[in-house]
Amino acid sequence: MTTSLGAKIKRHRQEKGFSLDKLADLTDSSKSYIWELENRDTRKPSGEKLTRIAQALEVTTDYLLDDSEEPGNEVLKEAFFRKFSKLAPDDQAKINQMIDMWGKKD
């Protein structure tokens, strides 16, 4: 199933609990510009704008531009790493310990 850029932006914006205003603020855009991206397939954002949107939604630009419905494994890994890198060092250490424990399934 194919999914348009606008549908992906809207779905991820809503999943994150962002209003149009919030996403517009995070991406240095106007509310009407975000609305047009979500609802009209005629708008094509610049590379810089697409990067800002992807970062705000914690997805990759490749995922937004790909017509497939679900993000691939690499996209999921990248999104996880982005979230992980924003954590405090203590929290990162805890997650590393959990991963080590899960990896020792004997």
Q: What is the CATH classification number for the domain harbouring 93? A: 1.10.260.40
> Would the pLDDT of 11 be above 60?
yes
Q: In the 8-state DSSP scheme, what is residue 69?
A: S
Q: How many domains does the chain have?
A: 1
- Tell me, what's the pLDDT at 3? 65
- Tell me, what's the pLDDT at 86? 87
- Tell me, what's the pLDDT at 2? 47
Q: How far is CA 29 from CA 32, 34, 100, in A?
A: 8, 7, 42
- Tell me, what's the pLDDT at 1? 41
Name residue, tokens 């779905």.
Answer: 11
Structure confidence by residue, pLDDT tens digits, 34-86: 999 999 876 689 999 999 999 999 988 888 888 765 656 666 777 788 888 88
Is there a contact between 61 and 69 (Cβ–Cβ < 8 Å)?
Answer: no
Domain range for 91: 5-103
Select the more confidently predicted residue: 21 or 72.
21
CB atoms within 10 A of CB 27: 23
- Tell me, what's the pLDDT at 44? 84
Q: Tell me the mean pLDDT in the region 14-23.
A: 96
- Tell me, what's the pLDDT at 102? 84
State the Cα–Cα distance between residues 73 and 23, nearest whole angstrom: 25
Is there a contact between 84 and 95 (Cβ–Cβ < 8 Å)?
Answer: yes
